[in-house]
Structure 1
Amino acid sequence: MTSTALRSRAWKLLEMVTTPLLPSDYLDLVGPLRAGADLRGRIEAVHPETGDAATVVIRPGRDWRGHTAGQYVRIGVDVDGTRLWRAYSITSPTDRRDGRITITVKAVRDGKVSNHLIRRAAPGTLVRLEQPTGDFVLPLSAPAKVLFLTAGSGITPVMGMLRDIDFDDVVMVHCAPKPQDVIFRGELRDLVAVGKLRLTEVHTAADGRLDIARLGELVPDWAERETWACGPAGLLDAAEDHWAGHGVRERLRTERFRPVTAVAGEGCAGVDGGEVTFSTTGRTVAADGATPLLAVGEEAGVLMPSGCRMGICFGCVTPLRAGAVRDLRTGEITEAEPGVLIQTCVSAAAGPCDIER
C-alpha cells in the first residue's frame, strides 16, 4: 500500500472517530492560524489613537498573501454570538518585519463591530480574514508630486501608503473636527519634522468644512499633483467636480467608505418603501425607501452577512424572492424572478418585498 493510500485511510479513520466533527475542527483548536485552515487572524494588541479610534494589531494566518499599500481587508468578528463582517483599510507597511498587519478603526455611532474592536476586543481574540483587495493604491513607481486629500477615518488607507514609501514631494490636506481628533497626529508631525511631508490640518469644528476652492491657496500646484482622496461623500463629490472642472479629472483617485446614493425624485418608483419579509426567519418589518435592506434586517435582529457595506465586495448578496427593490446608487428597480440576487447594503425596499434571510 502506498504512503498516499495509507494517509487517506488514516484520515478516514480519524473522521469516523471524531464524527460529527471533522479532524480539521480539532486541528483548528490547536492551530487556528495553520496553513490550509480557513483564514484567520489573532488580535495581539489594541492601541488607542484618539478618543474614538484605535489601531488593532493582527497576526494573520499562514495563508495570508500580503497586501498592497492602500488596500483593505474584510474581517469577520463575533459580537454577542453573531459573526459580523466589516471592511477596514490596512494601515501597516507591506514589509513589516514581524509579519503582523494593522487596521485602524474609528467608532461609528451604534456601530456594533467598530465599538467592539475599540472597546471590547482583547489580545488573543480570533477573527476571520479574507485576502486583501481594493484598487485605491499607488502605481508601481510613485509619482514625483503627490497630494493626499483626506478627512476623518479617510486617512487610514493613505497612512498605509505613507508608511510604505518614501515620497519625493508629498502634501497632505486633512480635515478633522479638532486637533485631538486627527488620527496618527503624532506620526504625521514626525514626518513633517524630518521633511518627509507637508501637512495642512483643517479643523472643521472651528473653521467649518473645507471649501474645495481653497485648494489653490493651500496647495498652489494641486493641479500638477497626482491625488488620492478619501473621506465623506460631500468632500469627494466636491473634489471630483473641482478636478473635472479644471480638466484634470484623470489625476484624482477616490476611495469611498459609503456608496454614492441616488436621490429619489418626485414620483420615483419605490421611494415610499414597503413591508420587508425575511422569509427564512419569518420576520416582517416596515421599511422606508432610503434605508438599505442590510440595515433594516440588522435592526430587526436578522442575521445579515455583509462586508464593505458599499456595494463593492458582494459579501451581502441575497436572493430576492418577491417584490422589488431600488438600487440606492442608481435608482434602478430590480424585480423578483427566479435566480435574482440583490446586494442588501445598496438596495432599499421599492414596495413590499421578500428576501431570503
Structure 2
Amino acid sequence: MPSFRPLSRIASAFTTPLTPADYLRLVNPLSSARQLRAVVTAVQPETADSVTIRFRPGKGWNPHEAGQWARIGVEIDGVRQWRSYSLSTGAGQDPAITVTAMGTVSTALVRGTRVGDVLFLAPPEGDFVLPEHPRPLLMLTAGSGLTPVMSMIRTLVPRRADADVVLVHSSRTPEEALFAEELLELADQFPGFRLVQWFTGERGRRLDLTTTSDLDAACPDWRDRASYACGPVDFLDAAESLWNREEGELRVERFAPVVAPGSGGEGGRITFEKTDKEVEADGSTTLLDAGENAGVLMSSGCRMGICHACVTPLLAGQVRDTRTGEVHGEPGHLIQTCVSTAAGPVSLDV
C-alpha cells in the first residue's frame, strides 16, 4: 500500500527554504503557530496625547472580561517590546487599548500606529472585573486609571436596566479627560449611571481620600456600594487606607508595583553575562531598568510583577524583592527583574 506524506511536507518541497507558513503570513498577517497576533482596524484620537487602538485578534485569542488587561508587543527599531494595557472596550466587543504617550512603548503606539499594522498579543488576564451578581457600584478613577473602568461601564450600563453606577473621575482639565463626550452621553441617556467629573485644574487639588468629606459630597451612599479604584499610586494608597478604616469593600487595579518601605537595599554591580555588560545600580533601580538603561535587550511585560514575562535566571548574587523587601536568590533561581533590585553584586543570564 502506498504511503502518503502530510500535505504540509509536500508543500514544503515547493517553498524551501521558506515554509508554507511564511507564505501564508504574506496573505494573512494574523497567521502564526508560534505567536498570537492582531491587525489594527482603527486608531481613534481621545485627547492630544491619547488614542484608542482597535484591533482584530487572530486565532487563539480568548474574549476578554470587562476590566481585564493584555500584554501587547510592538516592534521598535527592530526590537520587540512588550507592555501591559487595560482593554477599554466592553465584554463581547472586539478589543481595544487606550494609550497615553508616556514612555517609549506607549509613545510609539500613540504616535506611530496605523490601520493595518500588526501587533503581537498575549491572552487577556486580570481579576479586576465586575461582581458576579448585580449591585450598586462606585468607580473611583484618576487619569488613565479610567481605562479598565470604561470597559466595565460600556459592558454594564447600556445592557442592564437595573444598573446603578456612580463614576467619580479625576483629570486635570476637561480637554485631558478620556472618553469625556461618551461619558456625558451615557449619563444623559441612562438614569442608572451618574458621572462626577473632578477637574484638578479648576479645584486646585485631587479628590481628597484622606477623609470622607469629598466622597460624602460626591456619592453620599458610597459606604453601601461595591467600590473599584484605579489610578496613580498615591491615589490608590489613600483609597485603600480609607476603606480599611471604614471596613468597606474596595477592589484596586494598579499600573505600578507595590513597593515595600525600605525595600531598596544597597544596590551593587549587575553583570549581564550573555551581552558582556556591567553596570552599577543603586538600591532603588530594578534589574530591568538597569539593563534597559545599559542597552541590554530585556524581556518584559507588565513591569509590576504580575505576568512573569521578565523572568531571568540568576547566575550569582542575591536580589531584593521591591514588594516585600525580602532578600533571596540562589544560582539557577528564576527572578522577576521588574520587581528585583541588586542586593550586592549580581550576575544574570542575559
Same fold by TM-score greater than 0.5: yes
Alignment-mate amino acid for residue 250 of structure 2: L
Q: Is the 8 A contact 2:21 2:32 kept in 1?
A: no
Alignment-mate amino acid for residue 119 of structure 1: R
Unpaired segments ≥5 residues, structure 1: none
- Corresponding residue number in structure 2 for 1:163: 154
- Corresponding residue number in structure 2 for 1:226: 226
* Alpha-carbon distance in 1 for matches of 2:13, 2:62: 34
- Corresponding residue number in structure 1 for 2:297: 303
Q: 1:30 to 1:237 in 2, by over 3 A?
A: same
Q: 1:6 to 1:38 in 2, by over 3 A?
A: farther
- Corresponding residue number in structure 2 for 1:89: 86
Which of residues 61, 65, 76 in structure 1 aligns to 2:58? 61
Shift of 1:347: 0.7
Alignment-mate amino acid for residue 235 of structure 1: F
Tell me if 1:344 matches 2:341. Answer: no
* Alpha-carbon distance in 2 for matches of 1:123, 1:49: 16
Q: Is the 8 A contact 1:147 1:225 kept in 2?
A: yes
Q: TM-score, normalised by structure 1?
A: 0.90
Cα deviations across residues 40-90 of structure 1 (Å, max 9, x unaligned)?
001122111111111001111133221111111111110111100111111
Shift of 1:220: 1.1
- Corresponding residue number in structure 2 for 1:74: 71
Shift of 1:151: 0.6
Tell me if 1:38 matches 2:29. Answer: no
Q: 1:196 to 1:190 in 2, by over 3 A?
A: farther
Q: 1:157 to 1:221 in 2, by over 3 A?
A: same
Tell me if 1:253 matches 2:251. Answer: yes
Which of residues 112, 123, 128 in structure 2 aligns to 1:131? 123
* Alpha-carbon distance in 2 for matches of 1:113, 1:134: 21
SS at match of 1:304: coil
Alignment-mate amino acid for residue 196 of structure 2: T
Q: 1:353 to 1:36 in 2, by over 3 A?
A: closer
- Corresponding residue number in structure 2 for 1:176: 171
* Alpha-carbon distance in 1 for matches of 2:146, 2:272: 37
- Corresponding residue number in structure 1 for 2:216: 216
Q: TM-score, normalised by structure 2?
A: 0.92
Q: How does 1:280-319 map to 2 (within 5 A)?
A: 280-319=274-313
Q: Is the 8 A contact 1:36 1:63 kept in 2?
A: no
Alignment-mate amino acid for residue 346 of structure 1: V
Q: 1:37 to 1:331 in 2, by over 3 A?
A: closer
Shift of 1:245: 0.5
Shift of 1:20: 4.8
* Alpha-carbon distance in 1 for matches of 2:275, 2:34: 30
* Alpha-carbon distance in 2 for matches of 1:334, 1:202: 44
Which of residues 15, 19, 23 in structure 1 aligns to 2:20? 23
Shift of 1:37: 5.8
Q: Percent same amino acid at aligned positions?
A: 49
Alignment-mate amino acid for residue 188 of structure 1: L
Q: Is the 8 A contact 2:37 2:58 kept in 1?
A: yes
Q: How does 1:84-123 map to 2 (within 5 A)?
A: 84-96=81-93, 100-108=94-102, 111-123=103-115
The count of residues paired between Structure 1 and Structure 2 equals 341
CA-based RMSD = 1.8
Q: Is the 8 A contact 2:64 2:92 kept in 1?
A: no
Shift of 1:17: 4.9
Shift of 1:274: 1.1
Q: Is the 8 A contact 1:53 1:104 kept in 2?
A: yes
Alignment-mate amino acid for residue 311 of structure 2: V
Alignment-mate amino acid for residue 277 of structure 1: T
Alignment-mate amino acid for residue 318 of structure 1: T
SS at match of 1:351: coil
